[in-house]
Amino acid sequence: MKQKWICIAGALVIMTSASSQTKHLIDSKATRETKALFKNLDKLAKDHILFGHQHATEYGHGWQGDADRSDVKSVTGSHPAVIGVDFSGLSGQPDNNIARTKESLRKTITDTYDRGGITTVAWHFNNPASAGGFYWNDSISAPAVKLIIPDGSYHEKYKSILSTIAELARSVKGKDGKLAPMIFRPWHEFDGGWFWWGRPHCTIDEFKSLWRFTVSYLRDSLQVHNFIYAFSPDCTFTSENEYLERYPGDEWVDLVGMDNYADWGRDRYDIPAGISKLRIVADYAKKHGKLAAFTETGLESIPNKTWWTETLLAALKSSGLQLSYVLVWRNDTRSPTHFYAPFPGQVSEADFLKFYNDPYTLFEKDLKKIYK
């Protein structure tokens, strides 16, 4: 039987450390449950890390839409502690498609909240000013960042899109009648050039303006108070100064993170480099009262049978990181090779069970009163 430390709400006030007391959300009107999640993530990170998987309960390897199912649960008996969803379908679609997307997202988010799990939100935002989707295409993509920030020609359209997001955020109420908190992670991997909001396609000031307007409009104008705002570049940096090149300021960010597939086996195995980058993120979080997380990683197809314990877990246990969670990418329902978490019979299944049973890792079943 797996023995793990459990978050006990009643002990939180008594046991909160001095460093935790300096941490606070950038939204002074955040809901009680959002504040509790923020504090509990901070506390748990001192001795544990939560495991996350993108789209874990929506679909998996060879299936889609099954009730209370995830590939992670099929292997371990528990859903991931953190489940990723995406706001990609909330714009650039016919109204009836957007309505269906809202309903699907609402169910996934509230189901996760009711079980005691945590939702994190990516945003693969289709270019609002041109064709081309969310990836940059030299022949058709417009440099939309400068067009959607204040005074841009698509600014009103962007405000309308944010209103759609806000409508969803204000509607995700659990069985207890409370709004489900979400870790909202817009503009991820902005230091690369593959997305239209990436470094080559906007200036530093334009990107910072985009971030600040997005937060202020959602929080202050649209009254969204159940978001924890996460900042997550890819892994192109090697110093704190490089990491912070497009950072909008501490008053605009709750959680700092990093997406890194390259150092963990996609392009190379350079775990020392990956740990060094995680340490830059974690050290900044400690100095500035932020949460820290490994916001995306993984090894596609997981051909390395011991990747979970000998590569990922060994790195996560590096002294002093104190990361709130690690999230691996999705398991495609049709592709035989595009998956990042094991399923029954996959070659890394046994090692993933060791990863699951390690006292350092937390899954959904290990979380108690995370919103208290």
pLDDT in tens, 28-72: 999 999 999 999 999 999 999 999 999 999 999 999 999 999 999
pTM of the model: 0.94
72 burial type by CB count under 10 A (0-12 exposed, 13-18 middle, 19+ buried): buried
In this prediction, residue 330 carries a pLDDT of: 98
In the structure, what pLDDT confidence band is assigned to residue 1 with cuts at 50, 70 and 90? very low
Task: Tell me how many domains the chain contains.
Answer: 1
In this prediction, residue 3 carries a pLDDT of: 47
In this prediction, residue 186 carries a pLDDT of: 98
CATH number, residue 100: 3.20.20.80
Residue 19 lies in a domain: no
Q: What number is the average pLDDT over the span 220-226?
A: 98
Q: What number is the average pLDDT over the span 162-173?
A: 98
Residue 372 lies in a domain: no
pLDDT over 90, % of the chain: 93
Query: Which domain, by its residues, includes 348?
Result: 33-366
Residue appearing with tokens 């005691």: 116
pLDDT in tens, 185-214: 999 999 999 999 999 999 999 999 999 999
In this prediction, residue 17 carries a pLDDT of: 38
In this prediction, residue 219 carries a pLDDT of: 98
Residue 24 lies in a domain: no
In this prediction, residue 10 carries a pLDDT of: 40
Distance, CA of 330 to CA of 59 (rounded, Å): 9
Residue 28 lies in a domain: no
User: Residue 165 pLDDT > 90, yes or no?
Assistant: yes
Residue 23 lies in a domain: no
In the structure, what pLDDT confidence band is assigned to residue 320 with cuts at 50, 70 and 90? confident
pLDDT in tens, 89-102: 999 999 999 999 99
| DSSP labels, 82-143 | EEEEE-GGGSSS-HHHHHHHHHHHHHHHHHHHHHT-EEEEE-----TTSSSTTB--TTT---
Residue 213 lies in a domain: yes
